[in-house]
Structures are given as structure tokens and as C-alpha cells.
Chains A and B, each alone.
Chain A
Amino acid sequence: MIKKYSVRINKKVHQVEADENMPLLWVLRDILGMEGTKYGCGVGSCGACTVHLNGNAVRSCQLPISSLTGMEITTIEGLSAKGDHPVQKAWLDVDVAQCGYCQSGQIMSAAALLKSTPNPTEEEIENFMTGNICRCGTYTRIKKAIQLAALKS
């Protein structure tokens, strides 16, 4: 059923009309025109659509719009004002990306990890990041970038 919702994204309140079951992913991409959050699988298995919900990394393809009232959502567009979040800077220092499609989701997961675990072990990084797939195979660089961001933040 189409309803009106008020969602708080990147510290700004948006009014949207959408089917109650429409996942946040498609609200972001098709209604709000925020395309940094990527569609990869739609079943919560690849992590390309990762955003922060009250500071925690979640898969936006699994979050119906009706469940988001009162929640604070952060997307890649809101992670930093100028692309200078320590994780984003580390990503450039390590030159992580190949095709780049999965990287918004990787960066959002990494930022959430460092918020809860500022100095993660290698194992903690691997386990936390396991939900984010990269077919180009940038995993070793992602780990290096997370370690670098931890050092610098």
C-alpha cells in the first residue's frame, strides 16, 4: 500500500510516498536520486547496498521503508562532506578500487567497523567485511586500507 513516510537521511528529513514494503535501497535510488548506494543482489548477500542505520552497517535492500521511522540513516553521500572520511582517504592512499561498483558498500561497512572497533585485528576485519563481495578481487587492498584508516583516525 502506498503511504507517506518521513525518513531522516544524512541529517536531513525527506518526505516520500512509497509502497510500504519498498526497500530503502530503491527509495534512495529511484525516489530520492541518491545513487551512491548500489544494487547488487537484493537479498542481503553482497553488501553493495550497505548504509548505516543508527550507526550500524545494514543492507538497505532488506529494510522496508515502513520500518525506518525515527531512525538515523547515513549513506555514502553523507559519510563525509568532501570525501575526506578517514576510510575514504585510506581508500585513495591504498588505491583500492578496480571497477569500483562494490566500493561504496565496502567503505560503509569499513566505516561502521572502525566506529565500533577502532583498532580491529586482521581477523576482526575479515569477519566483519565478509558480507561485502568484490568480484574484481580487491580484498587484500581493502584490508590494508582499513588498517591504515585505523592508524590515522
Chain B
Amino acid sequence: MKKTDSNYSRRSFLKVTSLSGGGMMLGISWFASAKPEDSLAELNIEPVWQEVTSFIKIASDNSIKIFSPNPEFGQNVMTSLPMLIAEELDVDWKQVEVEQGNYDPKAFPRQFTGGSQGIRMAWKQLRTVGSAARQMILTAASQAWNLPVTELTTANGMVTHAFSGKSETYGTFATAAAKLPVPKDIVLKGNQSFRLIGTPQKNVVAPKIAQGKPLFGMDYREAGMLIAMTERPPAFGMRLKSFDATAAKKMPGIVDIFPIQVFKDDHKFAGFDTRSFNEVIAVLGKSTWDVMNARKKIKAVWEVAPERKEMGVNNRETTVPSGLESTTKHYAQMLEMSKKPGVIERKDGDPEKAFADAKHVIERTYTAPFLAHNIMEPTNTFAHYVGDKVRFVAPIQIPDWIMPSIVARLGIPKENISIELVRMGGGFGRRAYGHYMIEAALISKQANAPVKLIYSREDDVSAGIYRPSYQLTYRAAFDENKKLIAFHAKGGGVPESPLHANRFPAGAIDNYLAESFVIPSNITIGAFRAPRSNFNAAAEQSFLDEISEYMSKDPIAFRLELLQRAKDNPVGKTNDYDASRYMGVLELVREKSGWGKLENAGKKRGVSAYFCHNSYAAQVIDLQVKGDQVTVELVTTALDCGVVVNPEGAKNMAEGAAIDGIGNALFGQLTLTDGKTDQRNFDTYRMIRHNEAPKKIDVHFVKNEIDPTGLGEPPFPPIFGAMANALYQATGKRFYQQPFQPQLKG
């Protein structure tokens, strides 16, 4: 047993409440009096919490309910977060019922799904909650039995006095425990004492999913609810000029049609206030089918929007250009920019001289299109605006980030806004942008009715918030002995650069230069599973493969050699990664895939490794190519995400990342012609399907005692590189342009 960090226990404060029917309820709060030096940034907790509600409810009959604070979109936090509490609480996992907590920042310090941070941030926090409750129950039992607390033990929701043979349930003591002060010093288990953490546990919601229960926002309904959809310009760069809804309003089941303005003209944009179109036409009706049909009858006139300025919350102004953009032009623009000097992001040594002195230079340019999120459950939200209050039932990844914008747009205090969090049918970053909640509230307010706003699949694909289109040009300089002497990365995109200047191989090469450029655009972009990394890994890991071949080095040995340098004698002061952990996943994937073993000599295989979101992943892909058909025989994944809380869920996540990554690498693309997306639904947007999935996926975790560092995103980026490198082995052709599969034809 070890004590929590003193800083942590000093600033944490748990509050307990009696349940009306007997039993206890334990919540968490944080001292408002925390000193400035007790920076809460690390825990991402706001410093002021006045009230509490519950994480744990223990009833007199020993039934135990644990609330999962974070929004769930398939990352399985509804199982793994409550496991952290149950571990320290010392209850039998089978007796725990899990419930999704609603949006309540006073009760739940961090309701945030994104950045692979859920488990990492909750690791100590939620265990502290569980441990405090356990200690209070022990104290209550000690008082009831008149026995010293040191003689009592807990397990499976029972308190036991071994000496006398007394044993009672937690429920017996819950009411008394609820009247006790919360302990000041909270003791957490050492990792070796875990009974639940590290054991494979099944998704607690799986039985409901398998029965098709209405878990999702799309499934929500209540009496009097209307269905709303929105009609928007047919192309990026356009806006509404006028419309005539006379015919549409006469369609069966239609209640009303009116325009809404998502953000006010003077809105100060926060980072996640992105929306594709600010003025849309809302169509309300009794059923989805009625609304879909009426949309077709609206006679709208659209016009090319002029250049506009958007003011950020930081008072920084962004210019959104005018024009109807096309993918072919974006690619030409990026290529042109790649030939000009960029903004220098990092420079080590004297790269210019090294390149001038080089005996040989390899230069390659990698390009990728926009990607649509294609969340299987299309965007939706229920809103009911009554008086000056609004109630949402919303699939939203980060409610805290859209709240200020809802407040600003509706002009009501945040106390008047409630959000019931529902399971999300996928997110991948798309549901971090909550503009649809504002849209639903505005429609409900004007219609004076409860409203469920639904996007059609076409709306979701053609008016998305996409993974940007990117480009990276790498140059490597070699001396007469084919020794790598300099490395140059120039990255840019529409409209952001993918470059992470301080990531590997920065730190491993004496002469290093990283430059970036951006191309302004009116195409809306945003976070997409492992933002920027999902492209960097593809480009960088393909390039390292190609230069290792030029140097006649094994691709894993070459990476390890660079990492050894970064570990022993790093170049520069700021290198974002831990070279040892990077090496660890490469060594594990080498071992588990039998890399370089004679029996695998004939296999067409590629390797890749990447670091992002605090964790490390390496993959080896074995595949075969016949014509334009790719068959992935095996994916071997090695991951270092620290302690694995739920190996079953973690494996599922890593398997999914491999399939999702292979699909996007082979087929994924969202292209534009004159501002209009060429893909509008799954008949034109190519998704990976059953027959294209790998035949087998093996997932291996580096075993260590590092506190969890995150898992949702890290196994996604490197798979693109492993795919490109394996395809090269199978076809003799390097792949510089995503998606890869169309290049296999002919």
C-alpha cells in the first residue's frame, strides 16, 4: 500500500451524503482554497467546486451503483472508469451496476472524451473516490463492532474480522458510514495489490447493445417531439441568399420551415465552435420521412459567400477566404508551397551545409486527402427550450467546450442549461464540435416544441468537419558511406500544418530542419482520431522505410539505432518522446511478429511505429496483393500505454484502430469539386468492409508499472505506414498518395 501524492490528497475533498432510503452516496469535490502553486492543470480540474453529487451509491441491501462520468462513444470507459473505483472500493465487480453520469461539472470534475485522456486523468482521481468510501465503511464497521479498524479487512463488498469470524456486507454499514467525515489521508493500493485492474472485463453495456435497446441520441423521443433537419448550401464557399418554402410547407406532416443563424455575427469563436455553414434552413415535421421529402421541395437560392473575418475568444482574427475550392487545386497549391521556404519550426546543427555537402539526397513528398468522420450514428441532438431554460439529450464528447457558446448564443445563464449525456454511435473527434446543440436549441425555441435534430448521412458526409488535407516533404542527406547526416521535414495542409517538429526523428539526427506552411480554406476541418499524427505516421514511417532500404539497413534496426542515439545523446533540448518506450514497442513487435526470422522470409510485411497522446505503438502487417485486391493476413500490434486497466476493452480498441486505419489508408478520401464534396453517402464514400478486414490481429502490451498513458488514438496512426511499407514489399511500388488502393489498379 502506498499513500497518494501529498499534493493530491491535500487538495482533494470528498463529500458524503445519506441516501433517503438508507445507505450512502459519495461524491467528489475539490478545495476552493487550493493555493496557486497547487496547479490543477495536471489533473485538468477547475479549481472551484462548491457542491457535490455522487460517484458511488451503496444501498442498505448492498447493491452498488457507480457512475461513469465521461461521455461514451465506444472507447468503453463505462466499463474501465468504474473499474478504477470498484478496485479501491474492494467490491465484487459482479455486484456493481454502472450508470452514465449526466453533465454536471460540480459532481464530475472531468467529463471529457478526447485526446486518449480518459483513463490517464481518472487514474488517481477515481481510485481516490473508491478508496475513501472503503475507508469510511471500515470506520463505520469498527465503530459498530467496537473493534480496532486495523483488525478489519475488506473484499468483495464485505467487511471481515478474521479473528472473531464476523463478516457483514458494505450495505450494513453504509448508512452509518454516510454520517462520518471523509478521511483526509486517502491510501491507494500498490499495483501489485490489484484484484480487478488488469483483468479482462466485458463491456457492461453489451447486453443492451445486442438487444438493440434505445441507447443513442438518435433513439431518443418524447411526447410532442418534432423531427427537425436542416438544409444547407450545396457547396463549401456558398451561403443562403433567399428561399421559398411555400410548396415545402404544404407537404404532409410539415409543421414549420424557417432559417436559423447558428452563431451571432459578433460571436467570439472558441476552438471547437467550428460549423460548416452559419445560416441553414430548418424543416420541422412529425416524422423523419416527412421532413426528408419536404426538404426536396424548398426552393433556395445560394450564392458565393464573400471573404469573411471571424474573431476568436483570444481576439485573434481569422480570415475565411471566398471561393469554390477543389481537391486538384489544393494539391497543386500544396506542391507549390512545398517548393518555397516555410516557417521554421525547429533547426538543429547546420542542415543547409549538410545538404550542400551530401553525396546523395533522397526527397519524397506524401499527400493525403480530407477524411470524413463517418460516425455510424449521424449527428443529432434533442433540445427542448422552455421559458429561459433549455434541456438537451445530446451525444457530445466535451460538453464543457460548447457550454460557453450555448450561453453566448441563447443569452441564458449556464445554470438554465441541462445536458443528459447519451451513448454516442461513434465520435472520432466529430462530436467534439457541438454546434448542432445550438442549432437544435434555436429550432426548439422558435418552434416552441421539443425537437430532435437529425442530420442525414448526406448532411454528415457533405457538410462535415474533416481531417484536413495534408502534405509532407522529407529530405534525407547521406555522406559517401551512406550515413544519414541530415533530415528535413516540410509539412503543410489545407488549412493547417500536420507538423510535430519535436517528435522523432528530431533528437536523433545532428542536422535537422522542420518547416511548415498553411493554405487558408473555407472547408471546415477538425480533430479526427489522432489529429495530425494520423498523417505524420503514414508519411514519416514510409520515408524511414525507404531510406533504411537505401542504407541497406533492416527497418527496425535502423529505427532502433536512431532511438538509441536519441536516448544516449539527444540532439536539442525539447524532444517530445521517451526513446526507451519507443524502442520497447519496436522490440516487442519484432519479437512477436518473428521479424527477420527465416520462417517469415517469404512474407510481404511492413513495419511502422509512432508516438502520440503519451503512448507508443508499433505494428507489423503481413499482406498479399492480387490485382487491386489486398488481403491483410495478420496485424501484429505492440503497445505501451502503461498499466492496462481492462485488457479486453484495450484489445478491442487496438483491433479497431488497425481495421479503421487500414480502411482509411486503402480507401478513405473526401474530395471536392467546386466546393462540393464528390462523396455524399456510403455508396460513394468507400469504407472498409468485412471482406477487407485483416484475417487476424494480435495485440501485445508492454508490461510495466507506468501510470496509464492512453489508448484510443495511439494504435491508429502507425498502421498507415505499416500498410504502405507492406504494399511496397508486395508490389515493388512505393505509396506516396493516400488512399493507396486506387493506385493498385492497372
Binding site for B on A (CB under 8 A): 2, 18-19, 22-23, 26, 29-31, 33, 35-43, 45-46, 48, 75-77, 83, 88, 91-92, 95-104, 107, 122, 125-127, 129-143
Among candidates B456, B652, B656, B657, residue contacting A95 with C-beta atoms closer than 8 Å: B652
Interface residues of B in 428-464 (CB under 8 A from A): 428, 454, 456-457
Measured CA separation A131–B690 after assembly (Å): 8
A98→B457 contact, CB < 8 A: no
A-B contact count (CB 8 A): 191
Kindly state whether residue B289 has any CB partner on chain A within 8 Å: yes
Contact of A35 among B210, B219, B653 (CB under 8 A): B219
Given A97-B210, A99-B423, also A137-B456 (CB < 8 A): no
Instruction: Please indicate the chain A residues that have their CB under 8 angstroms from the CB of B457 in the complex.
Output: 40-43, 46
B739, CB-defined interface residue at 8 Å? no
**B 353-399 contacts with A by CB, 8 A:** 374-378
User: Is B211 in the interface zone, CB < 8 Å from A?
Assistant: yes
B410 within 8 Å of A (CB atoms): no
Assess the B376–A135 pair: CB atoms within 8 A.
yes
A130 and B690 contact, Cβ closer than 8 Å, known pairs A40-B457, A141-B652 = yes
A57 CB, nearest partner CB in chain B, Å: 13
- What residues of chain B have their CB less than 8 Å away from a CB belonging to chain A? 73-76, 202-203, 205-207, 209-216, 218-219, 221, 227, 252, 286-290, 292-293, 374-378, 423-428, 454, 456-457, 648-649, 652-653, 655-660, 663, 681-683, 687-691, 693-697
B690–A39 CB distance below 8 A: no
Contact indicator A88/B252 (Cβ below 8 Å): no
CB distance from A87 to the nearest CB of B (A): 8
Interface hub of B206, B292, B376, B663 (most chain A Cβ within 10 A): B376
Contact between B656 and A91 (Cβ–Cβ < 8 Å)? no
Say whether chain B's binding surface is mostly helix, strand, loop, or mixed. loop
CB contacts (< 8 Å) of B426 on chain A: these are: 99, 101, 135-136
Given A99-B423, A100-B74, A37–B212 Cβ distance below 8 Å? yes
- Besides A99-B73, A104-B212, A130-B691, 16 more A-B contacts (Cβ < 8 Å) are A30-B286, A36-B212, A42-B456, A45-B682, A83-B207, A83-B210, A95-B648, A97-B203, A107-B210, A133-B682, A135-B660, A136-B656, A137-B658, A139-B688, A140-B659, A143-B693
CB < 8 Å: which of A23, A33, A98, A143 contacts B653?
A98
Question: What is the chain B residue whose CB lies nearest that of A89?
Answer: B210
Q: A40-B457, A137-B656 are in contact. Are A95 and B203 (CB under 8 A)?
A: yes
Minimum distance in angstroms from A17 CB to a CB of chain B: 11
- B657 / chain A contacts, CB cutoff of 8 Å: 137
A19 to B288, CA, bound (A): 12
Residues of B within 8 A of A130 (CB): 689-691
Q: Which residues of B contact A103 (CB under 8 A)?
A: 209-210
On whether the beta carbons of B376 and A133 are closer than 8 Å, the reply is: yes
A76 to chain B: closest residue by CB: B212
Say whether B218 contacts A30, CB under 8 Å: no
Residue of B nearest to A122 (CB): B695
10 closest A-B pairs by CB: A36-B212, A101-B425, A137-B659, A99-B74, A76-B212, A137-B656, A98-B74, A139-B693, A100-B209, A45-B682
Asked if B663 and A143 sit within 8 Å, CB to CB, the answer is no
Residues of B within 8 A of A139 (CB): 659, 688-690, 693
Q: How far is the CB of A37 from chain B (nearest CB, A)?
A: 7
* Neighbouring B residues of A98 by C-beta, 8 Å: 74-76, 652-653, 656
Chain B residue contacts of A125, Cβ below 8 A: 690
Known A-B contacts A42-B457, A136-B74, A137-B658; the reply to A101 vs B377 at CB < 8 A is yes
**What residues of B have a CB within 8 angstroms of the CB of A42 in the complex?**
292, 456-457, 681
- Min CB–CB distance A9 → chain B (angstroms): 13
Q: A43-B683, A88-B211, A130-B691 are in contact. Are A29 and B288 (CB under 8 A)?
A: yes
Question: Is there contact, CB below 8 Å, between A77 and B74?
Answer: no
A14 to nearest B CB, angstroms? 15
The main secondary structure of chain A at its interface with chain B is loop
Q: How far is the CA of A36 from the CA of B213 in the complex (A)?
A: 6
Which chain B positions have C-beta within 8 A of A104? 209, 212
Measured between C-beta atoms, what is the minimum distance from A34 to chain B in Å? 8
Chain A minimum-CB-distance residue to B427: A99
Known: A29-B288, A33-B221, A135-B375. A76 touches B428 (CB 8 A): no
CA distance A35 to B288 in the complex (A): 13
Could you tell me if B655 and A137 are in contact, using CB atoms closer than 8 angstroms?
A: yes
CB atoms of B209 and A97 under 8 A apart: yes
CA distance in complex: A127, B692 (Å): 10
The verdict on A99 contacting B376 (CB below 8 Å), with A2-B252, A140-B659, A142-B690 known, is yes
Shortest CB–CB separation between residue A13 and chain B, in angstroms? 21
Is the beta-carbon distance between B209 and A140 smaller than 8 angstroms?
no
Given contacts A36-B213, A137-B658, A100 and B205 within 8 Å (CB-CB): yes
Q: Kindly list chain B residues whose C-beta atoms are within 8 Å of the C-beta of A95.
A: 202-203, 206, 648-649, 652
Query: A45: which of B73, B205, B652, B683 is its contact (CB, 8 Å)?
Result: B683
- Rounded to whole Å, the gap between the CB of A22 and the closest CB of chain B is 5
Complex Cα–Cα for A134 and B203 (A):
17
- CA separation between A139 and B289, bound complex, in Å? 31
Establish whether residues B655 and A36, one from each chain, have CB atoms under 8 Å apart when the complex forms: no
For A133, the chain B residues whose CB sits under 8 A away are 376, 682, 687, 689
Q: Is the CB of B691 within 8 A of A126?
A: yes
Minimum C-beta distance from B432 to chain A (A): 15
> Bound state CA distance, A22 and B289, in angstroms?
6
* Residue among B210, B428, B689 with the highest chain A CB neighbour number at 10 A: B210
- B218, B660, B683, B691: the one contacting A136 at CB < 8 Å is B660
CB-CB under 8 A for A46 and B655, given A36-B214, A40-B457, A136-B74:
no
Q: Is the CB of A30 within 8 A of B219?
A: no
Cβ contacts A to B, 7 pairs, < 8 Å: A37-B212, A83-B211, A100-B206, A126-B690, A138-B652, A140-B659, A142-B690
CB distance from A88 to the nearest CB of B (A): 4
Known contacts A43-B683, A92-B206, A133-B376; is-contact A36 B211 (Cβ 8 Å) = yes
Known A30-B287, A137-B659: A92·B376 in contact at CB below 8 Å: no
Say whether, besides A26-B289, A31-B287, A38-B218, A76 and B211 are in contact (CB < 8 Å): yes
The reply to whether B697 and A92 contact each other, CB–CB distance below 8 Å, is no
Contact of A97 with B660 at beta-carbon distance under 8 Å, contacts A26-B289, A43-B681, A139-B690 already known: no
The answer for the CA separation of A117 and B528 in the assembled complex, in Å, is 39
In the bound complex, how far is the Cα of B325 from the Cα of A109, in angstroms? 40
Across-interface contacts of A134 in B (CB, < 8 A): 376
* A28 nearest CB across to chain B (Å): 11
What's the nearest-Cβ distance from chain A to residue B248, in Å?
Answer: 15
Residues of B contacting A96 in the complex (Cβ-Cβ under 8 angstroms):
206
Q: Which residues of B contact A107 (CB under 8 A)?
A: 210, 212
A36 / chain B contacts, CB cutoff of 8 Å: 211-214
CB distance from A20 to the nearest CB of B (A): 11
Known: A42-B456, A76-B211, A136-B660. A97 touches B690 (CB 8 A): no
What's the least CB distance linking B160 to chain A, in Å?
A: 32
Interface centre among B211, B227, B288 (most CB of A within 10 A): B211
Q: Are A135 and B428 neighbours in the complex by a CB distance under 8 Å? A: yes
Least CB distance, A15 to chain B, in whole angstroms = 16
